[in-house]
Amino acid sequence: MNIMFNIMFMETITMVDLRQKSEQIVRQLKKGQSLNLSYRGKKIALILPIKTEPVSSDDPIFHLSDSSMTPMSNEDIDKAIYGDAR
């Protein structure tokens, strides 16, 4: 779906809403809803939820933060991130 279509029909909240209903707004964001923020009648910001997905342990980047591993060279890190196509 076109992102401009999504933005146009997204719920708009005001700065007053943000101050007075912040807990409700956070619940909407946790459910995946995006919101437009308006100030004095003009849209000024787009509030998007952060989509987190579990990382698979077979993902090569998953192991980059493992302190028990032998430190990787820059070349090894590049291969883990970009693959051998570079």
Residue with token string 């909240």: 13
Cβ–Cβ under 8 Å, residues 43 and 36? yes
pTM over 0.75: no
Q: What is the pLDDT of residues 22-47, one digit of tens each?
A: 999 999 998 889 999 999 999 999 99
Instruction: Taking residues 51-73, report their average pLDDT.
Output: 71
Choice between 76 and 60, residue whose per-residue pLDDT is larger: 76
Structure tokens at 67: 């302190």
C-alpha span between 62 and 19 (Å, rounded): 38
Residue-averaged pLDDT of the chain: 80
Q: Which pLDDT score, from 0 to 100, does residue 44 have?
A: 95
Residues 6+ away with beta carbon under 8 Å from 77: 64
User: Where do the domains of the chain lie, and which CATH numbers do they carry?
Assistant: 3-47 (3.40.1620.10), 53-86 (no CATH)
